[in-house]
C-alpha cells in the first residue's frame, strides 16, 4: 500500500457515519488505492455499495456533502468532487511527478506575475513553482482558474487566462489566491479540513485590486 503525502483527517468509520447521515442511505463503504476509479457506486434506494479512494479521507466537508447529495439523487452534478480529484491528483502518487513549468504565454508571463505578487505581498517568501496548466477543450461548466498542489508545491493557472482580454490585475489576483494556499495551508477545525478559512478570506481581501478583480470576474463570466 502506497504512503500518500497527505494528513488524513477522518477514518473509515467517521467517514461512513458522515455520509450515511448526510445521504440518508445505508452504506457498505470500502476505502481503496484504486486511482483509476476513485469513486464507485453500486446499488440504489437505501442500500449502497460505495468504494472510495483513500484521498477522500482528507476531503473537506463541501466535497463530502456533494458526494452525499449524489448518493441520494444520482443525477446531481459534482463539480466540487471533480475539482477535488483534479487538484489532489499530484498528491496521489507516492513519488509526485516532476512538473515541467511553462510560464511564458501569448499574452501573459506567469513568472513575471509570480515574482511581482511574491515580492509585493509575501516578501518573496513563497517557495513554489508556477505553470500554465494543460488546456481542457470541450468543457462547458465554469472552469477552475487556478490550483495549488501541496505535494509538488506547484501553482497551476488555467490557460484560458492567457488572453489580452484578461487584465493583469485579475491574473495577479488568481495567482495571489493560490499563493495564499501555499502560505496558509489547510486549517484543521473539529476534525474538518477547511481550505478557505475565515483568515484566508480576510487575507484575500487584502489584495490591492480585490474589488476591481472580483467586479471584472462577475462582468466577464462568459469569458471564463
pLDDT digits (tens, 9 = 90+) for 119-157: 999 988 898 999 998 765 554 444 689 998 887 889 999
User: For residue 150, which of 176, 123, 177, 178 has the smallest C-alpha distance?
Assistant: 178
Residue range 110-223, CATH number: 3.30.2010.10
The domain limits of the chain are: 12-92, 110-223
pLDDT block averages, 10 residues each, the chain of length 224: 44 85 87 82 78 86 90 81 81 56 93 96 91 68 77 90 96 96 80 80 95 95 84
Supply 94's cell numbers: 507516492
Strand 47-53 with 129-132, pairing: unpaired
Q: What is the pLDDT of residues 86-108, one digit of tens each?
A: 877 766 654 445 557 889 999 99
- 185: phi then psi, degrees, rounded to nearest 5: 70, -150
Residue 88, SS3 per DSSP:
helix
Neighbours of 21 (CB within 10 A): 10
Domain 12-92 fold is Double Stranded RNA Binding Domain (3.30.160)
Three-state DSSP class for residue 32:
strand
Report the alpha-carbon distance of residue 21 to residue 28 in Å, rounded. 14
Q: Which helix (H) or strand (E) element contains residue 83?
A: helix 79-92
Amino acid at each position: 500500500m502506497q504512503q500518500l503525502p497527505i494528513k488524513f483527517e477522518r477514518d473509515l468509520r467517521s467517514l461512513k457515519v458522515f455520509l450515511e447521515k448526510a445521504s440518508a442511505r445505508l452504506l457498505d463503504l470500502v476505502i481503496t488505492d484504486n486511482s483509476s476509479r476513485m469513486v464507485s457506486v453500486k446499488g440504489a434506494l437505501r442500500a449502497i455499495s460505495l468504494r472510495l479512494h483513500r484521498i477522500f479521507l482528507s476531503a473537506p466537508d463541501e466535497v463530502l456533502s456533494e458526494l452525499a447529495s449524489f448518493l441520494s439523487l444520482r443525477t446531481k452534478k459534482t463539480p466540487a468532487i471533480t475539482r477535488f480529484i483534479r487538484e489532489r491528483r499530484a498528491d496521489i502518487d507516492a513519488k509526485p511527478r516532476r512538473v515541467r513549468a511553462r510560464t511564458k504565454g501569448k499574452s501573459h508571463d506567469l513568472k513575471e506575475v509570480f515574482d511581482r505578487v511574491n515580492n509585493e505581498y509575501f516578501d518573496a517568501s513563497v517557495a513554489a513553482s508556477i505553470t500554465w496548466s494543460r488546456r481542457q477543450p470541450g468543457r462547458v461548466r465554469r472552469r477552475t482558474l487556478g490550483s495549488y498542489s501541496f505535494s509538488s508545491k506547484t501553482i497551476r493557472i488555467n490557460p484560458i487566462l492567457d488572453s489580452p482580454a484578461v487584465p493583469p490585475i485579475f491574473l495577479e489576483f488568481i495567482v495571489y489566491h493560490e499563493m495564499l494556499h501555499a502560505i496558509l495551508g489547510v486549517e484543521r477545525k473539529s476534525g474538518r479540513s477547511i481550505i478557505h478559512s475565515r483568515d484566508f478570506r480576510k487575507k484575500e481581501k487584502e489584495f490591492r485590486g480585490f474589488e476591481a478583480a472580483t467586479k471584472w470576474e462577475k462582468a466577464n463570466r462568459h469569458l471564463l
